[in-house]
Structure 1
Amino acid sequence: MTDLRPSADWLAVLAALTAEIREGVLTPGTRLATEPALMSRFGAGRHSVRRAIAALEAEGLVRTRQGSGTYVREAPVLNYRLSGRTRFSQNLLEQGREPSGRVLGVEDTAAPPGVAEALRLPPGEPVFRVRHLGLADGVPVDLSDACYPARRFPGMAEAWAGAGGASAVLAGYGITDYRRVSSTVLARLPSAEEARLLDQPAAQPVLVVRKVDADTAGVPIAFSETLWAGQRVQLLVDHATREESLHVDR
């Protein structure tokens, strides 16, 4: 029987398959449907299907195994070490990954009770809240909300403009070294907005790390909650020392 459906443009095939990969409908390691099946599904010619698959492969989303088929590529997992002097850029560079990121917003706000306690501030003390998206090789891996005491860091909103990250901003205030003094690790499902920013399905869990950083005198300088993309990141925890403690919520 002749298929009378109009032929789909290869870009339409590409867009549909890209969306299914990005949204987790086609998970890493999944084998794509055969050429005939894709042709039937999209009402497309063989040339259009092959061109769409070639584009997916060029973008690094799929890989073809000779004689086996085409599979959704499994991105290398980032091993992120939690230790006393964890630094995002250094962590990635040591694994041959390219670190980057962008500030999503900086606001002056009153410290919520938990944040005030962590930073040893009076309830409602002003803090700067910085929201930041971290990327590895251009792919989102973490979304963080960090709070800094406004009294200690005046003008921090301006300092973050064009800055190369937290370490660079803190160095501008004379803090060239600081340590993580506590971490709490848990898992949950992201909100729709969090999933969108991390470019992952909302049904896929994220790893959440709440931490406190302190200067060399032991005075807290930052409290943050960071969401890590669950399928892209593996957290490695150094054994706790006298100078730091780790709590894992199950």
Structure 2
Amino acid sequence: MALWLQVKTALAAEIEGGAWRPGERLPTEPELMERFGVSRFTVRQAIASLERRGLVRAEQGRGTFVHRDLLAYPISSRTRFSRNLIEQGFDPGGELLLQEVIPASEEVAEALAIAPGALVAHRRGIGTADGIPIEVASVWLPADRFPDFARVKAEHATYTATFAAYGIPDYLRLWTRVEGRLPTPEEAEALRQLEASPVLAVTRLDADLQGRPISYGRSAWSGERVVFDLQDGSRALVG
């Protein structure tokens, strides 16, 4: 049996036997080289084979992790990020990358039914599941309806609670558009994946119960970690 196949067989047996939990990082290349008495090239062959089998995933700059099943993310008229993850046993989290108030572009203005150039609150951040990035997203909201949004959002864990603070007790997803493409360098870095790995690009619009748009978003989701589940006849366009 070839050396790389011996390493791969041993690691696969340990993974399938529960020696490492889903999401746990495997030993480093030098550690595996020392353990099995093989070269770096042999270790990389073994890891690549495990990745093709779907047992592990390699994250650029972080290491190799035991693969966790794809997150089945429901898209419906009541899509909620935190709730979707919690119901599947994932711990939702995130990192804020940018927060600003800017003039609305024509695209954003049209979606939010406001005048081009009107001020909007813009947030860009990374959404995580169990600390693993699954999306990098930008969200725009009308600044006149959500004054001092940065401060109010900082006081609440979710958008649902933030909207409630502005007197919007509930809201609906009007439509969602999903397209497959390759990530930009910035998206690949934020998602900790290779630029050759595809993402699911999502554009969406949320509105209050009177149908008035309140939030327009664009995001890139890791195609290796997430699958979308369209529910309750939600209006979704796939390109």
TM-score normalised by the shorter chain: which range applies?
0.7 to 0.9
Identity of aligned residues (%): 41
Shift of 1:40: 3.2
**Cα distance in structure 2, aligned partners of 1:234 and 1:152:** 33
Between the aligned partners of 2:224 and 2:34, the Cα distance in structure 1 is: 26
- Offset of 1:174 from its aligned partner? 1.2
Paired position in structure 1 for 2:227: 234
Q: Does 1:186 align with 2:176?
A: no
Give the distance between the partners of 1:17 and 1:222, measured in 2 at CA. Answer: 48
Please report the TM-score for the alignment, with normalisation by the length of structure 2: 0.74
> Within 2, Cα distance between the matches of 1:17 and 1:232?
27
- The one-letter code of the counterpart of 1:152 is R
2:212 corresponds to 1:222: no
1:122 offset after TM fit, Å?
0.8
In structure 2, what is the equivalent of residue 146 of structure 1?
Answer: 139
Give the superposed CA RMSD.
3.0
Shift of 1:39: 3.1
Give the equivalent residue in structure 1 for 2:15. none
SS of equivalent residue, structure 1 residue 167: helix
2:102–2:120 contact (8 Å) kept in structure 1: yes
Q: 1:168 to 1:109 in 2, by over 3 A?
A: same
Q: What per-residue deviation string (whole Å, max 9, x for no partner) do you get for residues 185-244 of structure 1?
A: 10111111111111111111110110100001110001001211110000011253xxx5
Match of 1:103 in 2: 96
TM-score by length of 1: 0.71
1:39 match: 38
Q: 1:15 to 1:95 in 2, by over 3 A?
A: same
C-alpha spacing 1:17/1:208, structure 2 compared with 1 (3 Å):
farther
State how many pairs are aligned.
Answer: 198
Query: SS of the counterpart of 1:96?
Result: coil
Which amino acid is the alignment partner of residue 153 of structure 2?
A: W
Structure 1, unmatched stretches of 5+, are 1-12, 19-31, 43-48, 54-60, 64-70
Distance (whole Å) between structure 1 residues aligned to residue 27 and residue 235 of structure 2: 48
Write the deviation string for residues 126-148 of structure 1: whole angstroms up to 9, x where unpaired: 10111121111111111110000
